Amino acid sequence: MAQALIPQLVSLGEAAVAPLIDALSDSDRPYRNRAVEALGKIGPPAVPALLAVVESGPKAAKLGAARALGAIGDRRAVGPLIRMLDSGREELGVASEALSLIGDPSAVEAIVKNLGEFGMETLMQGCAASFGTKAVGALVTALASPSATVRERAANALGVIRDAQAVQPLTHAVADARPEVRLAATLALGELGEPAVDALVAALVSEDCRVRETAAAILGRIGDPRAIGSLQAATADAEPRVRDAASAALSRLQT
């Protein structure tokens, strides 16, 4: 299928859907990609056939159908794409991106759970950015996941979204049992900026010296004078790197 043929196929509308669906299983990747592009441009008339492929088609066709459904943005695809998340790593990535394009918040919890468990950090943050504040509730729920990896990824994603609603749950996560979650929550609070200053000041007395050090450095970057007294106290911390971070933060605040 030549690139130049795509507008002609799109102009045929529903009549072109069946041959294009067949093309999703072709062995030639560029050919499949052009079929995906054409199906995406045909739009809603292609959705029923694409959904059937996502539910029961071969892997290559299923991946192409998911990409086309993401391009179309039809919410009828949400349920089948959520089910596709459990099909394998590649399917997870493609389905997550498609769901992000559709933007239905009911998909967020499933995306967070699956991407977190697979450790697909970059993709998860991209999905969080796409969903924006619609993802906050599901990500906050994920902070209570039994999986430390999911909790860590959820904290990172909340930092990407930068919604002040996340301050309190992230503050609780700073006291998580796992050090990687504590650090991720502290860094996420730093991304929230001024609304998180009180939480970051509280983190200066955490039992975790990495959290204390990170909180001090972030407070220096934010530059809010409310932190000065606590940073002065932190210059007497038992850990040299915390003392150094607090001193550097104070220098920035007092210049």
Q: For residue 146, give the 3-state DSSP assignment.
A: coil
Domain boundaries, the chain: 1-102, 105-192, 199-255
Q: For residue 240, give the 3-state DSSP assignment.
A: helix
Name the token pair of 106: 């009911």
Check residue 203 and give its pLDDT.
98
Q: Which of these, 117, 100, 108, 119, lies nearest to 158 by C-alpha position?
A: 108
Question: Residues 80-99: what's their mean pLDDT?
Answer: 89
Confidence class for position 117, pLDDT limits 50, 70, 90: low
Residue reference for tokens 């000041």: 201
Confidence class for position 105, pLDDT limits 50, 70, 90: confident
Domain spanning 199-255, CATH architecture = Alpha Horseshoe (1.25)
The CATH number that domain 1-102 falls under is 1.25.10.10
Q: What is the pLDDT of residues 172-201, one digit of tens each?
A: 999 999 999 999 999 999 999 999 999 999
Check residue 200 and give its pLDDT.
98
Q: Which of these, 241, 240, 209, 224, lies nearest to 250 by C-alpha position?
A: 224
E strands in the chain: none
Is the pLDDT assigned to residue 119 strictly greater than 60? no
Let me know if 90 is exposed, middle or buried by CB neighbors in 10 A (0-12, 13-18, 19+).
exposed
The CATH number that domain 105-192 falls under is 1.25.10.10
Is the pLDDT assigned to residue 1 strictly greater than 70? no
Establish whether domains 105-192 and 199-255 are of one fold.
Answer: yes
Q: Which of these, 72, 32, 34, lies nearest to 51 by C-alpha position?
A: 72
